[in-house]
Structure 1
């Protein structure tokens, strides 16, 4: 296997990208461009191959600790990789993704189903129920006193959204809503009516299923 410095200049990842475009690069070559350099005893191509293999095991569970466990990847490079993945994810989910029901929400937010803390997310939608953006609003126990409509609807106003869907996970695995879940839902529905941005659903996510306030007739 040739080292990076031994490659013909036109076959080096960065030069190859500049000459032929990013689509011409293999997965590990794209990673090499992102990293820029390797470390002593491991060139950037070797390091990139290891990282791509790690990603093939599933990118949803990648975090700073797992990436940093690869020799040659410190916190700075790990953060760089995670930022690139998140940026790609955000743009890819905007490609004509239609949200027709709670099952679509459950599929879209798969990375949050098994989180050990509660994540409150807001999906902003256009008038045709196409996804505009997906955002985490808060992390922690869902409580009416901690979830203010201002935080939930601020970005929806900026997005000029026609409606929103709120979702949060239950680490316990229980789908059934709590009293606070119902109070939060009622408060957000009332705020949405005042703002002219409809609360279309509130979906509780677990590993094995979901609870939809809309499907259960509670919105």
Structure 2
């Protein structure tokens, strides 16, 4: 797939989505808009992906068992869907956004909640992160649930219409508009795709012949990660090379979801000799402005992972990205301890919802 983006098409789609935010005027404060709109975009995208998966799986089953009735086919596909070794995620209910909207509107909230509660845990974690269940109650109170569902129930956000790269562009464009509406700097959230592509190209990542991990330590919407993988797929000259990209490339954006925690979380990523991430764990949870951490806790899991290096990170709930004197001291202690046990400290990253600070990039390692 080419990395070129059809900007007019994507900007028009972003404009259509933005209209739903305008419907919230007078009912929600400007900074609350994204809490309503961003989750429904994600839910609709996931729904489109799941519907496409069901259709493909139905055709696959029908080819093997052509005499199955529609009811039998639907049952077989649902059984496959609920097996997460077969599907990336699932929904155990009969609902879609369209079906929820077209049913009795006196049951709209109940049916919509049943729908989102029916997703598998990996999707439920996303919904929970948005705190969307509480937002639904506010939408109902302000008579906004039906209009929002009506707009999104048919919106074409499927993988056949939008690649992961294009979906990322849409999501970041909407996020940028919300940021500007709230009086924030768009650059705090949005990195233009052209800049990301240039950065990825400068990395000169080869087509892999063994496992490769691509890691974004301050992952926001995943733009860096999605562009990196799309770039490799675009460069793959043969089906075998494309298969290698799909098989061997793993992207990681593990820590950014801790950015909005009200307490400091200290995390440690174990790295092997091939610079692959073995594991990421929360080492300790502290207060709003500090977290206790000792080298023995940091290196205990790294030793059990047989790691050759680690990257540590912690969030700053106070908002500042500048390292404190304690942060600098802890980094020095970990670096010294690592040299003793033979596990190198590669970087210490401080992050919040607006960005990150790297000790390595700032010459403090």
Q: Same fold (TM over 0.5)?
A: yes
- What is the match of residue 352 of structure 2? 206
Of residues 122, 131, 139, the one that matches 2:268 is: 122
The CA deviation at 1:97 is 2.5
**In the alignment, what sits opposite 2:214?**
98
User: 2:328 corresponds to which residue?
Assistant: 182
Q: Aligned partners of 2:217 and 2:316: how far apart in 1?
A: 15
- Say if 1:30 and 1:17 are closer, same or farther in 2 by CA, change over 3 A: farther
CA shift for structure 1 position 24: 6.6
> How far is 1:31 from its partner?
11
In structure 2, relative to structure 1, the CA distance for the partners of 1:118 and 1:21 (3 Å cut) is closer
Q: Structure 1 residue aligned with 2:129, among 55, 58, 61?
A: 61
SS at match of 2:331: helix
TM-score by length of 2: 0.39
Number of equivalenced pairs: 170
Paired residue for 2:31?
A: none
Deviation at 1:28, TM superposition (A): 1.4
Q: Which has the higher helix share?
A: 2
Q: Contact (CA 8 Å) 2:259, 2:315: kept in 1 or not?
A: yes
Mapped contact 2:313–2:348 kept (Cα < 8 A): yes
**Distance in 2 (alpha carbons) for counterparts of 1:213 and 1:26:** 37
Aligned residue for 1:105, secondary structure, equals coil
- Contact 2:283 2:298 (8 Å CA) reproduced: yes
Tell me what 2:91 maps to: 28
Helix, strand or coil for the counterpart of 2:336? helix
In the alignment, which of 298, 302, 317 is matched to residue 171 of structure 1? Answer: 317
TM-score (norm 1): 0.63
Corresponding residue for residue 295 of structure 2: 149
SS of structure 2 residue aligned to 1:202: strand
Counterpart-to-counterpart distance in 2, 1:190 and 1:128: 22
2:92 aligned counterpart, secondary structure: helix
For residues 31 and 133 of structure 1, what CA distance do their matches in structure 2 show? 36
Using a 3 Å threshold, how does the CA distance of structure 1 residues 56 and 135 change in structure 2: closer, same or farther?
closer
CA shift at 1:53, angstroms? 7.5
1:202 and 1:57 map into 2 onto residues whose CA distance is 27
SS in structure 1 opposite 2:91? helix
Partner of 2:116: 50
Distance apart, 1:62 and its partner CA: 5.8
Partner secondary structure for residue 275 of structure 2: coil
Q: Deviations over 1:39-75 (max 9, x none)?
A: xxxxxx9875232579589446167x959x99xxxxx
- Three-state SS of the structure 1 residue aligned to 2:334 is helix
Using a 3 Å threshold, how does the CA distance of structure 1 residues 194 and 172 change in structure 2: closer, same or farther? same
Structure 1 vs Structure 2 CA RMSD: 4.0
* Structure 2: segments with no counterpart, 5+ residues: 1-69, 96-110, 138-210, 220-252
Q: 1:57 to 1:137 in 2, by over 3 A?
A: closer
Give the SS at the match of 2:257.
Answer: helix
2:362 is aligned, of 205, 216, 219, to: 216
* Maintained 8 Å contact 1:16/1:25: no
In structure 2, what is the equivalent of residue 35 of structure 1?
none
Distance 1:25 1:212 in 2: 33
SS of the residue aligned with 2:340? Answer: helix
Whether the 8 Å contact between 1:201 and 1:214 is mirrored in structure 2 is yes
List alignment gaps of at least 5 residues for structure 1: 1-6, 33-44, 71-94
